[in-house]
Structure 1
Amino acid sequence: MSVRTLSQRALSRRTPSRPAPVRVGGTADILVAACLWGTTGTVRTFADGASNVSIAASRIVLGGSLLLALALVTARGGLFRLLSTPRDRTLVGLGAVAIAVYQAAFFVAVARTGVAVGTVVTIGSAPAFAGLLGALTRQARLTPRWLAATAGAVAGCAALVGGGESAGVEPIGVGLALLSGLAYAVYASVASAFITRGEDDRAVVGMLFGVAAIVLLPVLAMTGPGWMATPSGALIILYLGGVTTAGGYMLFARGLRTTPATTATTLTLAEPAVAAVLGVVVLDEQLGGLALAGLALLAASLLLLILPSRK
């Protein structure tokens, strides 16, 4: 069964005839989450002796376990309702696999092509993928304002990549970052499909990340979790799993209550801006004038998207 058919059926109980209005509270939640995610690539560089796959797996195992536990305490009924039909179970599986692919591909991409460029390509490509998925599944109508803001943001990301040669841009790393962006867009679309039809956002994010944690638990065991036993390793995984994953994705899910997935993924372009700044300031990655111009264009595009339109 196609993703389009699954998404259409999942939304059949509540499909708006017009794009949902963007609320300030929802955009603020998503922007805060994006800023938290922007710190992950830099924090990962301090995890000596840990492989990229081990970092990704440990982050999801801890964060997913916390999110699932929270859902069991606060939204147990909604949690089990997500497994009540075959199509919902299929969507849950699709979203969980997308989370696992997104995380693993992202950390490998960052290792191969640098924090700034890897993050920019991953999150910069996600809005375009999300827009295509939204159009294909008829979850959202692409407005001229969204198209202009996303085009400007993607162009800004392209300029940031073009000006980041000294940060170690590599074609394979860029390809993995694009794969990560596609997987992220799939996760955001699945989560949005559940939440906009009225499901509890805590249950949705708890179920998706809980299943992803189960999927990645054997991977974590095989990649050697011993690095987490050191004081620095414990602090790093607590931050990546507890703050950026559990906290960040809970904020993101809450923001999806009032923000369409296409808009939400464009708002997360704040993440590469934070990552680029941290890459330059903390890791001494070098970005030229073209890259800085790309950052400015990216910021302007985000403002175009989040500022309220005239009635």
Structure 2
Amino acid sequence: MKGPILILVAGILWGTTGTAQVFAPESAHPISIGAARLAVGGLFLLGVVLAAGKLNFTNWPVKTTIMASLSMAFYQPLFFSAVTLTGVAIGTVVAIGSAPILSGVIEWIFLKKRPVLIWWCSTFLSISGCLLLFVNNESVHVDPIGLLMALGAGLSFAIYTLVSRELVETYSALSVVAVVFTLSAICLSPFLFIYDMSWITGLRGLGVSLHLGILATGIAYLLFAMGLIHVSSSTAVTLALAEPLTAALLGVFIVGEYLSIISWMGIILLMLGIGILIWSSKNAGVGKEVRTRGERSQV
């Protein structure tokens, strides 16, 4: 149960980003917020790993690390651009909803790991809930370029998850996220000079940046990487759909947003899908323990 719980907590922390952006200064552009988020998160993780003395570049896989860093760097502008072009509803649903499916397909094609039936059921329920949750919030506007960017964001997150899982199997999760997010922050550093960043000097802007960088990025992705050690990448991406669920609930109870009956139905489906996946992971762990005990008794 350790892996699913860690990823679930990571998704909850990611879900606070939308509420945090509500409290950001009006002059803060979404892409500049994303760039600042990675910059603070990368510096935080790099400081932690240096303080812990766990950074070791011996036989470090350069190509795999670059792929993970570029995937995370591409995700930020692709997602924010998709939301701008085709709206929050469609952009979020396509980006977040496509990631589990793309992750399962990538595992199936390249790793020859066919997703089990319980995963398909859980993913279907979760994506359906996400669809009901977001599409009902605004008029639907479909922009072809926006859809492609949203799919690109979903693919970026799926690739990041798959590659990161390969890295954490050999290296510590702290070292992996520190290196990956430092490189990702460097890739997005030009946006810090393109957009007006004066908003970050104020108390409110600084608080938002620290929350997004430390909690919603540094700690969240560290927990996600630790969870990847115990679960498949496709399962991890589906569990990460706790992000929109958290965002919706925070919007109601903190920001004061209103959710219709359809949106609440979406929340129920999301919780059901995630709950089924956690339940199946627990049963799989119990079954594995029973088999191990049986093998030991035979010996």
In which range does the TM-score fall when normalised by the shorter chain?
Answer: 0.7 to 0.9
109-118 vs 288-297, which moves further = 109-118
1:171 Cα deviation after fit? 2.3
Match of 1:275 among 218, 237, 247: 247
Residue correspondence of structure 1 range 148-167 to structure 2 within 5 A: 148-165=121-138
1:74 aligns with 2:52: yes
1:266 aligns with 2:238: yes
Paired position in structure 2 for 1:223: 195
2:129·2:267 contact (CA, 8 Å) conserved in 1?
Answer: yes
Paired position in structure 1 for 2:142: 171
Runs of 5+ consecutive residues of structure 1 not aligned to the other structure: 1-23
Change (3 A) 1:154 1:309: same
1:57 aligns with 2:35: yes
Match of 1:187 among 144, 160, 176: 160
Distance in 2 (alpha carbons) for counterparts of 1:280 and 1:113:
23
Residue correspondence of structure 1 range 228-243 to structure 2 within 5 A: 228-243=200-215
Larger radius of gyration: 2
Distance in 2 (alpha carbons) for counterparts of 1:187 and 1:90:
13
One-letter amino acid of the counterpart of residue 51, structure 1 = H
1:57 Cα deviation after fit? 0.5
Distance in 2 (alpha carbons) for counterparts of 1:296 and 1:163:
15
1:207 Cα deviation after fit? 1.1
1:277 Cα deviation after fit? 2.1
Q: TM-score, normalised by structure 1?
A: 0.82
1:142 Cα deviation after fit? 0.8
One-letter amino acid of the counterpart of residue 123, structure 2 = T
Paired position in structure 2 for 1:142: 115
User: Equivalent residue of 1:98, what SS?
Assistant: helix
User: Equivalent residue of 1:171, what SS?
Assistant: coil
User: Equivalent residue of 2:4, what SS?
Assistant: helix
2:164·2:176 contact (CA, 8 Å) conserved in 1?
Answer: yes
1:309 aligns with 2:283: yes
TM-align CA RMSD: 2.3
User: Equivalent residue of 2:189, what SS?
Assistant: helix
Percent identical among aligned pairs is: 36
* Count of residue correspondences: 280
2:11·2:241 contact (CA, 8 Å) conserved in 1?
Answer: yes
Paired position in structure 1 for 2:264: 292
User: Equivalent residue of 2:229, what SS?
Assistant: coil
Distance in 2 (alpha carbons) for counterparts of 1:177 and 1:65:
27
> CA-to-partner distance for each residue in 1:236-273, whole Å, 9 max, x for gaps?
10111111111111111111121211111111111111
1:139 Cα deviation after fit? 6.4
> CA-to-partner distance for each residue in 1:190-216, whole Å, 9 max, x for gaps?
1011113x2211111111111101111
1:120·1:273 contact (CA, 8 Å) conserved in 2?
Answer: no
1:82·1:204 contact (CA, 8 Å) conserved in 2?
Answer: no
Paired position in structure 2 for 1:14: none
Change (3 A) 1:110 1:257: same
